[in-house]
Structure 1
Amino acid sequence: LDQRARSLHDGSEAALSMAFDEALPYTAIATLLREISVKYPSLELTLLNGTATEVADYVEQERASVAFHFDRGPARACFELRRIGSVPQGVFVAVDHPLADGRTVRRKDLVGHRQLLMHADDVHEVAYSPRVWRSDSFYSTAEMVADKLGWAVLPVNIAHYEGYRQALKELPCPALALPRLSVRMLWLQGRPLGATALYVQQRFAELLLDSTA
């Protein structure tokens, strides 16, 4: 109780609920949680995970105070948002896919193979192939790539995840000129961020930078 009282006196929240996009770098999230446990030992913390759309829903439904997710298009009018970093992405196939022969891949090479696309409301990813499958989860997409069902553009941290590291190969494809995926923080308009949420925002931005350097 004394610790909780001191936290409130310092402007820190007694409780905080956070939602994370499942595709964000896990090493950055894990480090953040360890540091929170030390810095705010009496904090009552709730963690939620989901797709980019789901974590935004959690904030709108007031199940989470803040959410961190990949920028998947315009934010809803009810949100305040702040860009906190970015993550590299690349073109990936299974290690024994016909395109995984070491040569530089051109757009016309990709056209002849099924493309696995991320699907999100009001966001239309660029389809380079006439044959397309869609999923709302990067992990599900990575699984399909590993099963040789097609190629996909994935966050590099997903492709390097232990379960996929040996199964996937990144293709050199300068023609696509893929930008980094923007990561943003969301919270409800009219809800000022407390000291703990502000710390989380700043520290997670630093950890994202370190994890993708």
Structure 2
Amino acid sequence: MNFSIEQLQAFDAAAHTGSFSAAARRLGKAQSVISTAVANLEADLGVSLFDRSGRYPALTAEGKRLLLDARHIIEACANLQALSGEIAAGVEHRLTLAVDDTSHLPWLEPILGVFAERFPNVELELLFPLLDDQIAMLLSGRAQIGIGYEQTNAHKDIETRSIGMVRAPLFVAADHPLAAKKRVGRADLIKHRQIVITSRGGAPHHFDVLIASKVWRVEGDLAILELVKRGHGWAMLPEFLAEGPLGAGEIFRLQPDFIPELPVMRMEVLWHRPHAQGKAGIWLRDALIRRAAERN
């Protein structure tokens, strides 16, 4: 038995896409290469992985069972390759950090201050994409590290670590009509404009819970906060962003009587596993994870 990682990848891609031609497109290879790799793997293992009697290849019972182990091996190889790349990498000259919205800067800045002292010659680029825009940047290599909220349909090559939990209460301007109520019901909120966050790609957001019939969609929590402060509507906002304006009396926290628990989302640091991090990226990634551990 002498199978290769390329054979396992061809097997996995064919099983995932449902055909050898689609697997070839996914892996950027000729269909004959995929078909030959799978056939050689079957010969090496001594079992038939696909039933080829129909129009499309279908996994056999043996293929279904072996696919799980094949994927574990592919995952382990990817981890080994990423780890070895990081160990071999030196200090990169440039690092791009993609942060889900500028509203995270107040708590992030102290970490960046330490980063500046440890890596004074590294050119740091800060970008502020949202949701699917951020993932696209990580996958393409445009950004090396991301900070954002938990992904509902995470890409298999995106590695994540939790860096804390965020609640999103409901807020309005201090002089908004809703601020006069001790508790608000769904019928109260429906009557007033709701301001929700959006991304350029249009993906659903973690705090995108539509209640009102009149809606404004805004790119960025800071912009939403400013519109809320000026009385244009109510919105769900991260607690860390609302603390200052709430303490200054600029906004009011609503108490809904129909939501048993406020929306809570996990914040994560994200990176694309196949792209090796340099020493500066590894330090920044670990510093974000340590911050979360120290706060818990």
Higher helix share: 2
The reply on whether 1:201 has 2:272 as its aligned counterpart is no
1:4 matched to which residue of 2?
none
Match for 2:143: what amino acid?
A
Equivalent in 142, 157, 172 of residue 240 of structure 2: 157
Distance 1:17 1:141, change over 3 A: same
Report SS of the residue matched to 1:36.
helix
1:60-209 map, 5 Å? 60-71=139-150, 73-101=152-180, 103-120=182-199, 121-123=202-204, 125-161=208-244, 165-173=248-256, 175-176=258-259, 177-207=261-291
Distance 1:210 1:122, change over 3 A: same
Determine if contact 2:145/2:285 at 8 Å carries over to the other structure: no
User: 2 CA distance for matches of 1:138 and 1:123?
Assistant: 15
Distance 1:12 1:105, change over 3 A: farther
User: 2 CA distance for matches of 1:63 and 1:42?
Assistant: 20
Q: Per-residue deviation at 1:9?
A: 9.1
Identity %: 25
Match for 2:204: what amino acid?
V
Q: Which runs of 4+ in 1 moved over 6 A?
A: none
Determine if contact 2:186/2:258 at 8 Å carries over to the other structure: yes
Determine if contact 1:14/1:42 at 8 Å carries over to the other structure: no
Determine if contact 1:28/1:204 at 8 Å carries over to the other structure: no
User: 2 CA distance for matches of 1:180 and 1:115?
Assistant: 19
User: 2 CA distance for matches of 1:75 and 1:139?
Assistant: 25
User: 2 CA distance for matches of 1:26 and 1:145?
Assistant: 20
Distance 1:103 1:126, change over 3 A: same
Equivalent in 92, 97, 102 of residue 14 of structure 1: 92
User: 2 CA distance for matches of 1:37 and 1:30?
Assistant: 10
User: 2 CA distance for matches of 1:174 and 1:11?
Assistant: 54
Matched residues, number: 205
Tell which structure's C-alpha radius of gyration is larger.
2
What runs of 5+ residues in structure 2 fail to find an aligned partner? 1-85
Deviations 1:139-175 (A, max 9, x none): 2222221222211101122223569954322112363
